[in-house]
Structure formats: C-alpha cells, structure tokens
C-alpha cells in the first residue's frame, strides 16, 4: 500500500529567507519619502507575514487610507529597487534551508509549497534568484488571498494538491502562520530563527530551533 500524499507548506520571510534587512530598509524609505514617522525596527518586524496593506494599517493606523496606500506603493518600489541592487543577497536563505528542501523534495509522497504574504512578483523573483523553481508545486501569495491568519492560502494549497488536512503541515516563524494553520485544520511547526518570539507561537504543534530538526519533527507528526 502506497503512502498517502503529504504537503509541507513553508512561509517565506523569516522562515526560508532572512529578508529583515530589505523589509526594514524598504519600510523606512517609504515612510521617510512622505514624511510619516518611521516605525521602530521591532514594530516593522512584528508585521512580517501580513499582506502589505494590513501591515501598513497596523504600522500607521492614524493615517488616512490615501496615505496608507501611498506607503504601500512606496514600499513596493523601494523593495523592488533593493532587490535589483542586491539580488539574492537581499534575502539570503537561512542555513540548512536548501538542504532540507532538497531532501524533502526527493521523497516521492511529499509535496512542497509556499504560503506567503509576499506578492506574486516578489515570490517569483526570490524563487528565481535562489534557483528554487523545481521544488514548489503550489505557491500561495498575498495577491490572491485575504491576509494571514485567514486560512484561504492553506485551503487553496490543499485543494490544488489533493492532500487531506491531516497530512499537511505549515511551517512558519510568526503567530500569523500558526494561527492560519490552526484555522485551516492543519498542524503547524513554529521556527525560532524568524521575527516573532517563540512565546507568540502558541498555536504551533511543535517548535524547532534549526532547519536540521525539521525532518524529525515531520516524521514524529506523520508516524
């Protein structure tokens, strides 16, 4: 009897890649460009994972919608320019990420995907920069879904792959990722190397501290 299909979904920023430098730079540039007080670094990193309009609304709740929209546009422009300037170095893979992706991809019954607050353009550019095109069979981005922690991204990934919720796992560094997983009825694995403190990952089924711990964590869930 063949093993059931498994789906491993990854968040991107703070989970697969360390993009905090680009995020903080781009947010700072956007706020400064229209003379809006710049949020603290801690505040900026706290919203990583949310769709951009929701992130801006949290960072500048006192600003009218027109100003928030300008901040969104400014961030997109600054982030794109920063990525063009630095290439893959703007969002380097975390240690061990590629090795784990390759190992999981080699398992016939395991499918890989991403569920991210990034735009389609941003995700496609990052995947190309790191030569990850062969690995992810489902790619869920902010353009097509409500912001995390709404379960839409996970639900769509399950529908696209035909995997049952009990055979799927969401891996992420923020409470938004873990709450999204719980809302979709899948288990979540929290990671400590990202942008939310481990104390915020209350909805996680388990928490890991390095990428090389992930295969055993998955085996423990599926066995």
Show which residues are catalytic: 11, 13
DSSP state, residue 143: G
- Which two three-digit tokens encode residue 107? 């398992």
**What does the alpha-carbon distance between residue 17 and residue 54 come to, in Å, rounded to a whole number?**
21
**How far is Cα of residue 24 from the mean position of the Cα atoms in its chain?**
16
| Helices 214-222, 97-105: inter-axial angle, 10-degree rounding | 40
Which residue's entry shows tokens 């801006």?
Answer: 56
The strand ranges marked E within 89-148 are 110-115, 136-140
Helix (H) or strand (E) holding 161: helix 152-161
**What does the alpha-carbon distance between residue 169 and residue 186 come to, in Å, rounded to a whole number?**
6
Q: Are 132 and 26 in contact (CB under 8 A)?
A: no
Helix, strand, coil percentages, rounded to 5, for the chain? 50, 15, 35
Radius of gyration of the chain (CA): 17
């Amino acid at each position: 009897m063949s093993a059931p299909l498994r789906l491993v979904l990854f968040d991107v920023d703070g989970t697969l890649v360390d993009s905090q430098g680009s995020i903080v730079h781009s947010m700072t540039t956007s706020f400064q460009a229209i003379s809006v007080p710049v949020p603290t670094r801690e505040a900026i990193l706290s919203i990583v994972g949310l769709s951009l309009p929701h992130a801006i609304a949290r960072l500048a709740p006192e600003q009218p919608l027109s100003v928030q929209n300008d901040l969104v546009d400014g961030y997109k422009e600054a982030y794109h320019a920063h990525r063009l300037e630095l290439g893959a170095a703007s969002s380097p893979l975390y240690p061990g990420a590629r090795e784990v992706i390759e190992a999981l991809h080699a398992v016939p019954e395991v499918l890989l995907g991403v569920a991210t607050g990034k735009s389609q353009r941003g995700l496609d550019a990052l995947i190309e920069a790191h030569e990850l095109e062969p690995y992810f069979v489902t790619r869920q981005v902010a353009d097509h879904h409500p912001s995390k922690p709404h379960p839409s991204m996970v639900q769509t990934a399950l529908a696209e792959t035909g995997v049952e919720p009990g055979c799927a796992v969401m891996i992420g560094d923020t409470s938004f990722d873990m709450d999204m997983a719980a809302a979709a009825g899948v288990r979540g694995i929290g990671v400590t190397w990202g942008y939310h403190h481990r104390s915020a990952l209350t909805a996680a089924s388990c928490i890991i501290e390095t990428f090389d711990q992930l295969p055993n964590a998955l085996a423990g869930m599926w066995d």
